[in-house]
Amino acid sequence: MKKILLILCLFLLVGCGKAANKVYSLTLNNKTFYLGEEYTKEKYGESIGYSEVSSCAFEGLDKTYKYDHYEVTTYPVDGKDKVYLIYFLDDEISTTEGLKLSDSYNDMISKYGEKYKKEGNLYTYTLGKTNLNIIVENGFVTSIEYAHEI
């Protein structure tokens, strides 16, 4: 009886809340990058290239930092630069779940399943406010991009 009560109490205490806000993250060399987090040099390291892209009327919106195998793009929110895109440049790195450029369509399905949204060649997997955008051409992955909703 006590056990049941205890379980009931635990259930009431912890249970039934809204699921934690899950997002996609990218782990490289034991470092995990979270989409939507603030970009800092300390965490992301020295970049090998940097560019700012303004758009029609709004200046300096996107900042892109280039690293050896990927690019990180930030977007200002309340004066802080938040990471909203991570784009793979080559097949030297793979996603946290193990997908890399030049892998096959079947690799993608075995790692991410069939719960995608498809638009042309673009397969989008969504987790919370983050998307994993994968382009598949002729059965092979040709583009991998993590994106956070703006």
Partner 1 sequence: MKKRICIIIIFFLSLFILLNRLVTPKYQTELIEGHMIKEYYQEAKNHEVIFIGDCEVYANFSPIQMYKDYGITSYIRGTSQQLIWQSLEILKETLKYEKPKVIVFNVNSMRYDKPVSEAYNRLTLDNMKWSQEKINMINSSMLEEETFLSYIFPILRYHSRITELTKEDLDYFLNEKNITFNGFLINKNIKPYTSFPEQRRLPSYTFKENVYKYLDEMVKITKNNNIELVLIKAPSIYPYWYDEYEKQIIDYASKNNLHYYNLKKVVDEVGIDYNTDTYDGGLHLNLNGATKLSKYFGKLLQDEFNLTDYRNNESVNSIYQNKILLYNDAIK
Partner 2 sequence: MANILLLIISILIYASFGLKSLIFIVFSALSTYLAAKYMYKNKKLIFYSTLIINILILVFFKIISFNNFLNISILVPLGISYYTFSVLGYLIDIYKEKYQPEKSIFNYFLFVMYIPYLFIGPISRYDQISKTLYNKRTITKDNFFNGLIRVAWGLFKKYVIAGRIAIIISTISSNPEAYFGSYVFLALILYSFELYNDFSGGIDMVLGFSKILGIELSENFNSPYLSENLREFWRKWHISLSTWFKDYVYIPLGGNKCSKIRNRINLIITFIVSGLWHGINYFFWGLFHGIIVAFTPKEKSDFKVLNITLTFLIVSFLWVFFIYPDSLTSFKMFFSIFYKFNGIDLINNITKLGLNIPNLIIMIVTIIIGIIVDIKHDKLKSIYNLKIDKKLIIILSLLLITLLLGIYGLGFEKSNFIYSKF
Structure tokens given for 136: 């598949």
CB of 63 to partner 1, least distance (A): 10
Q: Which amino acid is at 1?
A: M
12 touches partner 2 by CB under 8 A: yes
4 touches partner 2 by CB under 8 A: no
Structure tokens given for 140: 């092979």
CB of 39 to partner 1, least distance (A): 15
* Residues in the chain, total: 150
- Tell me which stretch binds partner 2 (CB under 8 A): 15-23, 39-47, 58-66, 102-110: 15-23
The residues that touch partner 1, with contacts defined as CB under 8 A, are 49-59, 64, 66, 71, 73, 87, 89, 119-122, 135, 137, 142-143, 145
CA-based nearest residue to 51, from 38, 61, 42, 39: 61
- Out of partner 2, partner 1, none, what residue 18 binds, judged by CB under 5 to 8 A for its kind, is partner 2
Question: Are 67 and 45 a contacting pair, CB within 8 Å?
Answer: yes
How buried is residue 115: exposed, middle or buried, by Cβ count under 10 Å (0-12/13-18/19+)? Answer: exposed
16 touches partner 2 by CB under 8 A: yes
Q: Given the rule CB under 8 A, which residues bind partner 2?
A: 12-19
